A = this chain, B = another copy of it.
Amino acid sequence: MQLRSKRSKHNVRVAYADTDQARVVHHASYFRYLEVARVEFWREHGFDYDAFEKRTGLGLPVVEAKLRYRASARFDDLLEVETWISRASRASVWFDAVIRKAGAVIHESSVRLACASFDDGTIRSIPDELLERCLDR
């Protein structure tokens, strides 16, 4: 299902630890920025992800990711991560994001999450509450 999702923008400052010897942000560090941005997206729209995990015993494992690195980020850069939900089904929810540096897009991504029980790892339906406050109506 294509969605009309709200969007949120979250700033992140590149840490020294995020860089590698090529003097740019290591490609794995973007996963951190995206994950933080998803949690902040939810918080901004009134959904507390941490409380959700504790209350339900469910988590949202990443099951697929497509990442495009268009330009480098460097230590101390202030990046803007724009995040939205691009699609949802019973089994999955897709978060898309664009990362900008001084206004220019440097990274584009689509990350698909599933829902699983912490106890036994069984796959569950995506709970409505993950989506309901996040859609434009």
Could you list which residues of chain A lie within 8 angstroms of chain B, going by C-beta atoms?
Answer: 13, 15-17, 19-24, 26-29, 31-32, 35-36, 39, 49-50, 53, 59, 61-70, 72, 74-76, 118, 121
Contacts and interface: CB of A to CB of B under 8 A. Distances in A.
B69 A62 contact: yes
A50 B15 CA distance: 11
A103 B53 CA distance: 25
Contact of A31 (B19, B27, B36, B75): B27
B68 A22 contact: no
A66 B65 contact: yes
B64 A67 contact: yes
B21 A20 contact: yes
A16 B31 contact: no
A58 B28 CA distance: 20
Given A28-B32, A61-B72, A72-B61, A20 B22 contact: no
A76 B43 CA distance: 11
